[in-house]
Amino acid sequence: MADRVVLAYSGGLDTSVGIGWLKDATGKEVVALAVDVGQGGEDMEDIRQRALGCGAVESIVVDAKEEFAADYLMPALKANALYQKTYPLVSALSRPLISKHLATTAKRLGADSVAHGCTGKGNDQVRFEAAVAALAPDLTSIAPVRDLALTRDKAIIYAEEHNLPIRQSAKNPYSIDKNVWGRAVETGFLEDPWNAPIEDLYEYTQDPSVFQEADEVVISFEAGIPVAIDGVPLSPLAIVEQLNAVAGKHGVGRIDVVEDRLVGIKSREVYEAPGAMALIVAHEALESLTLERDVNRYKRGVESEWANLVYDGLWFSGLKRSLDAFIDDTQRYVTGDIRLKLQGGRAVVTGQKSEKSLYDFSLATYDTGDTFDQSLSKGFIELWSLPSKIAARRDLAGE
């Protein structure tokens, strides 16, 4: 039997031509694997058939939407994960999942290698290959666009010469990656960071400057995971989808940023992630209500480390696993309800309650019922400021 390679297949021009291109260059049989992470658009069966029409020996579609939401998006939410405080890791979260399916499919079918359609300039190549290395160290990764010099012009010529069943649409000026957590748009006129984004770029969100009546939603969490909207129990996937619709209607989660790629390039990115951003706002508020001060403060640092690791392709790594253990432990009391008001591009917390709340009315109130003994503060401040006082005496004595 010839060697086999399992290709992460999107149905687009590059990976379609990549099937024949890989076969010609390596002599391997190509298995196409399309993973549905909620990217929408084309029917997955059409995509599956196209891979066969392009010469794949086998073509597989995996519906991984629930798995993606439960095992990748929920950990990201527990970590309030935002790379450089802005980007909710849309693409960075899907790559380890796709890589896991590449590796298990390769093992199952006896393939010795996997392939992806990334260029040599981005983060995604690193994420695919680092994840595959961590899961199946004996597999080789091949990147036809990068390693076998498959350029767009060559791909078009190849598709025509070989009569491949690809609808040759007008060249989309943008590079777009999307899944249920959000959408990333790059290249084209956006490469000049002075150029403002235009409305056409967006698909998940409506223009927040167009007036709409506000919507309110109540999100219920259990141990850090959203479990219901307005009292209706839903799966993580259904919650993200529902919030994408309602927060998207109000233009929540539009992001425009110059970002530091792992490969050293700064790149201009436009994202939209309405459900993700609404959920992070709500989750963070519930943590403020239920976590002890020091845990909350310390966790913010862990979160940024977590986001860096995942952005950098180290989803399957020892440090990430250990940080997850810490984060999971913090979530035991993150149970309760958050009310969000959605309007004008913003998701604003307007109500919060929890059986596990650390908010104590009788300590916080300035009205009658106050149980806080203010006389204790005097001595507390004496000791709290004692090191500064002693140091100041020394410093001032020297003048």
Q: What residues are annotated to the active site? A: 14, 95, 124, 175
What phi, psi does 329 have (nearest 5°)? -65, -35
Instruction: Compute how many residues bind ligand ARG; rule: CB under 6 A.
Output: 11
- The runs of H, that is alpha helices, within the chain are 13-26, 44-53, 65-68, 74-78, 90-109, 124-135, 144-147, 152-161, 236-249, 274-290, 293-311, 318-330, 361-364, 375-384, 386-397
Whichever of 312 and 337 has its CB closer to ligand ARG, that residue is 312
For 20-59, the DSSP string reads HHHHHHH--EEEEEEEESS--SS-HHHHHHHHHHTT-SEE
Residue 117: CB minimum distance to ligand ARG, A: 9
β-sheet bridge partners, residue 294: none
Residues 249-268 that bind ligand ARG (CB under 6 A): 259
Q: Rounded to the nearest whole angstrom, what is the least distance from the CB of residue 184 to ligand ARG in the complex?
A: 4
By CB under 6 A, residue 129 contacts ligand ARG: no
Report if residue 37 touches ligand ARG, rule: CB under 6 A.
no
Pairing of strands 175-179, 182-186: antiparallel
99 is a site residue for ligand ARG (CB under 6 A):
no
Closest CA to 143 of 129, 130, 161, 160: 129
Query: Judged by CB, which is closer to ligand ARG: 68, or 221?
Result: 68
CB of 368 to ligand ARG, least distance (A): 54
- Which CB, 176 or 358, lies closer to ligand ARG? 176
**Should residue 91 be labelled a site residue for ligand ARG when binding is judged by CB under 6 A?**
yes
CB atoms within 10 A of CB 227: 16
- Per-residue CA distances from 164 to 8, 49, 206 (Å): 18, 12, 36
269 binds ligand ARG (CB under 6 A): yes
Count of residues in the chain: 399
- One symbol per residue from 281 to 300: x for binding ligand ARG (CB under 6 A), - otherwise; what is it? --------------------
Q: Locate tokens 């035991």: which residue? A: 332
Q: Which is nearer to ligand ARG, 26 or 91 (CB)?
A: 91
Binding to ligand ARG (CB under 6 A) within 158-177 occurs at 175-177
List interacting residues with ligand ARG (CB under 6 A).
91-92, 123-124, 175-177, 184, 186, 259, 269
